[in-house]
Amino acid sequence: MRVLFVSSPGIGHLFPLVQLAWSFRTAGHDVVVALAEHTQKAAAAGLEVVDVAPDYSAVKVFEQVAKDNPRFAETVATRPAIDLEEWGVQIAAVNRPLVDRTIALADDFTPDLVVYEQGATVGLLAAARAGVPAVQRNQSAWRTRGMHASIASFLTDLMEKHQVTLPKPSVMIESFPPSLLLEAEPEGWFMRWVPYGGGAVLGDRLPASPPRPEVAITMGTIELQAFGIGAVAPVIAAAAEVDADFVLALGDLDTTPLGKLPPNIRAVGWTPLHTLLRTCTAVVHHGGGGTVMTAIDAGLPQLLAPDPRDQFQHTARQAVSRRGIGVVSTADKVDADLLRRLIGDESMRAAVREVREEMQALPTPAETVRRLVEHVAD
């Protein structure tokens, strides 16, 4: 079977697809990934990749949306509660540059199945073009509802050009386990979270446990580019007052604008998150669904502290707070007492263990692929 994977140009959107892609590969199926901007990260996972928008820049796309749609930037994008249907204009702008070449890839590759992440409506269009089922991989606890119809309403010219209409996904696969969805109805199948963030050379032996608590600080790949690296400065200032060590993991971003770091904080370059968390006591992050799940897999309490202008992780913040596996704030309100609570609260650690056990009991990606193959055959 030929399987086309389609992702929006974001690491946090791509990585949750890798486990499924490799499960298809190890089951003997042919896999190609349609991606832009972060193609080398997908290729480094051992996957074949087609760059469907060679000059893509997510930050430029967001800036253009804000410029062209001031009402969206001033109201919808700053509202605490997220209705993804209202985000159609922005998510459509993310998808638009991907459509032509993804459709062309579908024509060339002639897939039997398309697997796409929740924000990649272009994957649904590719499935429609190929006339095959589509499988959606959900991100965080977002509920899709009419999101794709809203996005498609801004892409009608491209849909007419390629003679496609918007289909419905054949299957949806949840990212969060049942207890993190809380009152929300599941949209599809549950699958175990298996962390992936790339490979790493660990040295000549596994890292030793640090002598005192160590906390990871990571803020995603897009947020600090959009809001500026200074958004993490309040977290660093608070960490300087805490009797613990902190690891600042901001990927490839230049940290020099932050000035000299306090002695209990060290910066590292690109590091796979699951590797970084191996020796940590807790993690502070922006609220991305993949980071939430990787922290749970590591058994760590978490502090979600995004920039206050970033409302797009609202569902993750609700889930973490209500389930008691972490605390929620914004980067500008983090203080030393909040960090001390994160490190020392045993009730949070116990709740994380419960969710981790729940998650590890779910079907693996390999088991899910077997089910998908049977579903397509039927």
So what's the pLDDT on residue 177?
Answer: 95
**pLDDT of res. 75:** 62
Question: 93 with 9: CB under 8 angstroms?
Answer: no
Banded model confidence at residue 185, pLDDT cuts 50, 70, 90: confident
Q: In CATH, what number does 2-192+362-377 get?
A: 3.40.50.2000
Per-residue pLDDT at 368: 98
Distance CA 346, CA 102 (A): 48
Q: Which residue has the higher pLDDT, 83 or 320?
A: 320
Query: Does residue 218 contact residue 276 with C-beta atoms inside 8 Å?
Result: yes
Task: Say if strands 113-117 and 2-6 run parallel, antiparallel, or are unpaired.
Answer: parallel
**Shared fold status for 2-192+362-377 and 214-360:** yes
Rounded Cα–Cα distance for residues 292 and 316 (Å): 7
**118-150 pLDDT tens trace:** 999 999 999 999 999 999 999 888 888 899 999
What is each CA distance from 242 to 158, 191, 235, 339, in whole angstroms? 53, 37, 11, 7
Highest mean pLDDT among 43-57, 76-90, 196-210, 228-242: 43-57
Q: Is 111 a residue whose pLDDT tops 80?
A: yes
- Is the pLDDT at 291 greater than 70? The verdict is yes
What integer is the mean pLDDT of 72-91?
69
Percent of the chain at pLDDT exceeding 70: 92
Q: What is the pLDDT of residues 39-80, one digit of tens each?
A: 999 999 999 999 999 999 888 888 888 788 777 666 655 665
Q: Is the pLDDT of residue 106 over 80?
A: yes
pLDDT at 311 over 90: no
On the question of pLDDT at 88 being above 60, the answer is yes
Whether the predicted pLDDT of 310 surpasses 60 = no
Task: Give me the residue spans of the domains in the chain.
Answer: 2-192+362-377, 214-360
Q: Give the pLDDT confidence of 32-41 residue by residue, as tens digits.
A: 999 999 999 9
- How much is the average pLDDT of 9-29? 95
Q: Rounded to an integer, what is the distance from CA 20 to the centroid of its chain?
A: 15
Residues 297-323, mean pLDDT to the nearest whole number: 79
For residue 8, pLDDT beyond 60: yes
* Percent of the chain topping pLDDT 90: 66
In CATH, the number for domain 214-360 is 3.40.50.2000
